[in-house]
Structure 1
Amino acid sequence: MTHTSLASWLSYIESQHPAEIELGLARGRTVLARLNLSRPNKQVITVAGTNGKGSTCAMLTQYLCSQGDSVGTYTSPHFLRFNERIALNDSPCNDELLCQAFEAIETVRDGVALTYFEFSTLAALWIFDRSDLDYWVLEVGLGGRLDSVNMIDTDVAVVTSIALDHTDWLGDNIEVIAQEKAGIARKDKLLISGVVNPPQTIATTAQQVGALLRQKGRDFTFNADETAWSWQGAGVSFDALPIPSLPLQNAATVVAVLVYMGLSPKQHSLKTLFQTVQLTGRFQQVEVSPDVYIDVAHNPEAALELANRVDRLATLPIAVCGMLKDKDIDQVMAHLSGHFSEWFCADLEGVRGASASQLIRSISNHSEQNFNKVHGYSCVTDAFDAAILRAKEEQRSVVVFGSFVTVCNYLEQTLHNE
């Protein structure tokens, strides 16, 4: 079947499997074998974790590109355009190339029912194969062991962090979730763990598979103050590195990946990376006067990182928050309730969207904040507009957070207003 536009293809692939999520590798591997793809000139790097996957992929991609290597990067979800998911040398693919990839997959799949994510993953691999790249950087969508990204054997497995999330799919305890995420490891290949206080199942899985495990806190460490940080491991060290805009925990993991891959990163190259690296939606400043930041923090671990970022601002900012009801709203608010001067909460559309009233109830459970400082709105646009007016009155910044959906709604509004 031939479709004439990317929008048409995306509508089609959404309809080809009854479930939005169905973990498993058999369907993808069947079609992958029929595509007869090669591998990159150098290595495949696969990144799993509860938080920090996107940041880690961004830093690895931008570093490798800065060294003259060609890189294909696969991430999810996207903010405004599907093209963001599949990038060549840090630039999103064009519609024509994506359509060609979907056509190639459709030609060989012969009735195999692929999910939207499996179609997307295969499209990324097809495009990377035809682009003669040095590295493929692949972000796991959900879990690790049974995620479609794991249909291709990696050369370097990375686990960024472990926390309770997606428990319906991955299990209801940290040890089981860690085992699932470490399932991307391969025999005689590196497994770099950036997990703080790692569950034992990471080491157990590495031993069972025969992977070469390198762990934060054991094989490499980092230290930081208000202005700089340092990294130590594998007999080398880097000092006086600039604090990046992305989480420092992930930056330390990225240095470990580069060092243990044998790429011998140089001080000046790392300094440039951490001074310049950016990623949409990770405490990203997008407006000034008043300052506006966007952040996709949507679970307790990410909320702690956001709290640390917010505390570095000159004054308490104003929150614009919308969340999905299947997230741990109560713990997110427990971490953030005392870090904002005022809250503008929004309903999110769809069956997974939480109401503003749910958020307000949770905030009230964890804060003695004046009730007049917590407000509810029917959409992100209305909440943001009201927050901006207050920010101008009080000369404060605004932080839009809580979900990819919330940040997407803000970005769509901004694009519409341009």
Structure 2
Amino acid sequence: MSFDAPTLDAWLAHLEQLHPNAIDMGLERVARVRDAMGLRPDFPLIVVGGTNGKGSTCTMLSAIYRAAGFKVGTYTSPHMLRYNERVAIDLVPAADEQIVAALRAVEAARADVSLTYFEFGTLAAMRQFIDAGVEVAILEVGLGGRLDAVNVFDADVSAVVTVDLDHQSYLGDTRELIGLEKAGIFRAGRPAFCADAEPPASLLAHARQIGADLQCIGTDFGFRNETTQWRWWGRDGQKPGLPFPALRGTYQLANASVAIAMVQALHERLPVGIGAIKRGLLEAELAGRYQVLPGRPSVVLDVAHNPHAARGFAANLLNQGYFETTHAVFAMMADKDIAGVVELVKDRIDHWHLAPLDMARAASPEALAELIVAAQARGRIHFHPDIASAYGAALRACGENDRIAAFGSTYTVAAVLAARAR
């Protein structure tokens, strides 16, 4: 007998215990359920993968298409505070009732096929997009690309934003191995993009082998920073006088560039004017990507959880301006390169406020402290029972000219946002 429940919380609890592994790479099971559900989208699909930057790119794409008047479906992960954030139609998170109805449809179709939490959610998201009649869907890869559940749907346009070390136990321990996994979202004869300035040879070779129309940043498209504005260039010409994205950070120009390149690739099916591109860049919002909250002291939130992201985070801290003291609220997963992250940000932090995250994968504050000490970081270390307490202590210690930087994981940022909402 299939599961049923009236509330989204009950369904999510069911999904969490449904499959023996949280991650089970492969497409055969999810493809069987896709076919049983008859999920055959007739609208353009944009699939975005990468180590970092894919969430920002999806957000800008969604904002641009919405500004152009198209009905847009967006599927991203993980969520910050509510599961509903993962599925948006016209930038509005789906209602509980919509998600529950789609989850019921997946449950009814799967029979004896075991699905992971993410696989279940991916199929449910597509069910919602088809039912809502969206005109374009933007799908963020969860992990890797080749064997990710999102890849069960054929992309009309795809992009790998960046390639760096993360999730090595699943994807491999070199950029070449990881690049090959991420290139699995490319499709023969269709536009594909790479916004990594140094694309792995494996990614380039795979695109050639399958006959994808690959375009790379710096060669086929790119950007030029012109101080008060910026210019995009590509195969079809240039777009000067663009506003800087509302999403902060110098790396966002690369994300914006690949977003515009994908919009251009679909221009015949989904025509978008320069006005919509400008509006989309200015209106795109995404929590936890160098998010600077209003008020004083300055509070910065960043989900930076690997060295590649931490490098950009550290540069943004430096470029944000002068602050007398920076307090870090810091927690990470134990399976991440904590030492690599600490090494990149250690000279920007004066006080480290460490606390445990309420999950088995999280590194203990004591383990974090050992790595901070080993890196010879100059900041003082403070221990707290939870992230809310750590944030509260940092806030009490700050003057108007100080700064709080909460980073290291989506869960760290989410816990600070939850604490501020109380």
Measure, in 1, the Cα distance between the counterparts of 2:190 and 2:32.
24
Aligned residue in 2 for 1:308 = 315
Aligned residue in 1 for 2:413 = 407
Instruction: From 337, 347, 360, give the equivalent of 1:328.
Output: 337
Matches within 5 A, 1:176-215: 176-215=177-216
Residue by residue over 1:296-318, the C-alpha shift from the partner in whole angstroms, topping out at 9 and shown as x without a partner, is 11111111111121112222432
Instruction: From 364, 368, 371, give the equivalent of 1:362.
Output: 371
Instruction: From 260, 265, 270, give the equivalent of 2:265.
Output: 260
Aligned residue in 1 for 2:160 = 159
Measure, in 1, the Cα distance between the counterparts of 2:125 and 2:271.
28
Contact 1:193 1:216 in 2 (8 A): yes
Measure, in 2, the Cα distance between the counterparts of 1:94 and 1:21.
26
Contact 1:338 1:367 in 2 (8 A): no
Aligned residue in 2 for 1:279 = 286
Deviation at 1:377, TM superposition (A): 2.1
Question: Gaps spanning 5+ residues in structure 1: where?
Answer: none
Measure, in 2, the Cα distance between the counterparts of 1:271 and 1:49.
24
Aligned residue in 1 for 2:108 = 107
Deviation at 1:265, TM superposition (A): 4.8
Root mean square deviation of aligned Cα: 1.7
TM-score of the pair, normalised by structure 2: 0.93
Deviation at 1:195, TM superposition (A): 1.1
Aligned residue in 2 for 1:248 = 253
368 and 126 in structure 1: CA distance in 2 versus 1, 3 angstrom threshold: closer
Deviation at 1:269, TM superposition (A): 3.1
Measure, in 1, the Cα distance between the counterparts of 2:240 and 2:374.
43
Aligned residues: 412
Contact 1:298 1:332 in 2 (8 A): yes
Contact 1:141 1:149 in 2 (8 A): yes
Residue by residue over 1:329-367, the C-alpha shift from the partner in whole angstroms, topping out at 9 and shown as x without a partner, is 111111111112322222223221112232233233334
Indicate the SS of the match to 1:386: helix
Measure, in 2, the Cα distance between the counterparts of 1:224 and 1:364.
38
Contact 1:321 1:343 in 2 (8 A): yes
304 and 112 in structure 1: CA distance in 2 versus 1, 3 angstrom threshold: same
Measure, in 2, the Cα distance between the counterparts of 1:100 and 1:307.
43
Deviation at 1:258, TM superposition (A): 1.5
User: Which amino acid letter does the alignment assign opposite residue 11 of structure 1?
Assistant: A
Measure, in 1, the Cα distance between the counterparts of 2:301 and 2:386.
16
Aligned residue in 1 for 2:237 = 236
Deviation at 1:266, TM superposition (A): 4.1
Matched, 1:24 2:26: yes
User: Which amino acid letter does the alignment assign opposite residue 59 of structure 1?
Assistant: M
Indicate the SS of the match to 1:60: helix
Contact 1:245 1:283 in 2 (8 A): no
Contact 1:40 1:135 in 2 (8 A): no
Measure, in 2, the Cα distance between the counterparts of 1:230 and 1:303.
26
Indicate the SS of the match to 1:130: helix
Aligned residue in 2 for 1:62 = 63
Contact 2:159 2:193 in 1 (8 A): yes
Aligned residue in 1 for 2:91 = 90
Deviation at 1:272, TM superposition (A): 2.5
Measure, in 2, the Cα distance between the counterparts of 1:169 and 1:306.
25
Deviation at 1:132, TM superposition (A): 0.9
Indicate the SS of the match to 2:382: strand
More deviation, 23-32/312-321: 312-321
Instruction: From 6, 9, 13, give the equivalent of 1:7.
Output: 9
Aligned residue in 2 for 1:219 = 220
TM-score of the pair, normalised by structure 1: 0.94
Contact 2:328 2:404 in 1 (8 A): yes
More deviation, 217-226/316-325: 217-226
Contact 1:162 1:178 in 2 (8 A): yes
Residue by residue over 1:198-253, the C-alpha shift from the partner in whole angstroms, topping out at 9 and shown as x without a partner, is 00111111112211101111101222255432222114112332322432221121
User: Which amino acid letter does the alignment assign opposite residue 67 of structure 1?
Assistant: A
Measure, in 2, the Cα distance between the counterparts of 1:227 and 1:328.
36
Contact 1:40 1:132 in 2 (8 A): no
User: Which amino acid letter does the alignment assign opposite residue 409 of structure 2?
Assistant: S
More deviation, 64-73/340-349: 340-349
Measure, in 1, the Cα distance between the counterparts of 2:278 and 2:75.
25
Measure, in 2, the Cα distance between the counterparts of 1:301 and 1:181.
16
Contact 1:356 1:378 in 2 (8 A): no
Measure, in 2, the Cα distance between the counterparts of 1:97 and 1:38.
19
More deviation, 109-118/304-313: 304-313
Residue by residue over 1:61-105, the C-alpha shift from the partner in whole angstroms, topping out at 9 and shown as x without a partner, is 010010000111111111111111111111111111111111111
User: Which amino acid letter does the alignment assign opposite residue 264 of structure 2?
Assistant: V
Residue by residue over 1:111-158, the C-alpha shift from the partner in whole angstroms, topping out at 9 and shown as x without a partner, is 111111111001001111111111010011010000000111111111
Contact 1:72 1:133 in 2 (8 A): yes
Question: Gaps spanning 5+ residues in structure 2: where?
Answer: none
Deviation at 1:108, TM superposition (A): 1.5
